[in-house]
Amino acid sequence: MVDFFKFFRRRKDAPSNFFKFFRRDPDDSSKGPLSRPASPIDIEYLKTAGYPDEVLIFFEKGEPRVQIDAAGVRFGPISDMREENEDAFPGIVAARVGYLNIATTLYGDAYCVDVNSTGVAGQRPVFLVGHEEVDEDAGPEEVRKGAKRVCESFQEFLDRFSARSLPNGFYDSE
């Protein structure tokens, strides 16, 4: 895992464009860039799972090569998202009701795009699903009660991730 802000301590400018970070690995420049366009197989997974266009476009441009930690929020490759949706809790329960994983927290909570509703300008809102708020047999209503809306769009999620202003746990969210 890469500390997202280790890179920025050496720079004056915080990222106005999220991809500035992905130009090189702060720990070892011989490893190359921290992102690459997602593979066609991974993009097909996102489409089949039902991820919205704004998420597809982001990952077509550049998928994180490694998991990145920014103040306790972990954002990484599509393989991490898929694992959360299919094999991890609470992601597996959330995915059943249309909350698709985009990141996790240090404490095991899941950031998810709600594919069943729209927010600002038709964008899909992002919710934080608490791992202590839902159980493995949770139905749609229980999952909704165990989720807090934290961003109006995926773009807002990326901006707040870059600014380190996302809650790093369910109980830290507003």
**pLDDT of res. 121:** 80
As a whole number, mean pLDDT of residues 56-74 equals: 89
Both tokens of 115, joined, read: 């594919």
pLDDT at 130 over 90: yes
Answer whether residue 129 is part of any domain.
Answer: yes
Q: Which domain holds residue 153?
A: 2-168
Residue 56 lies in a domain: yes
CA angle 23, 72, 33 (to 5 degrees): 15
CATH of the domain at 128: 3.40.1580.10
Q: Which whole-number Å values give the CA distances from 48 to 92, 119, 141, 146, in the listed order?
A: 16, 22, 24, 25
pLDDT at 148: 95
Of 150, 164, 165, 155, nearest to 52 (Cα)?
Answer: 155
Percentage of the chain modeled with pLDDT above 90: 56
Instruction: Give this prediction's pTM.
Output: 0.83
139 domain residue, yes or no: yes
Dihedral, CA atoms, 115, 64, 5, 73, nearest 10 degrees?
Answer: 40
Residue 173 lies in a domain: no
Write the CB contacts of 29 (distance below 8 Å, at least 6 apart in sequence): none
How many domains in the chain? 1
Record the tokens describing residue 162, joined without a space: 């870059």
- Whether residue 59 lies inside any domain: the answer is yes
15/144: higher pLDDT: 144
| Weakest-pLDDT range from 50-54, 63-67, 163-167 | 63-67
- Which DSSP category does 118 fall into? -
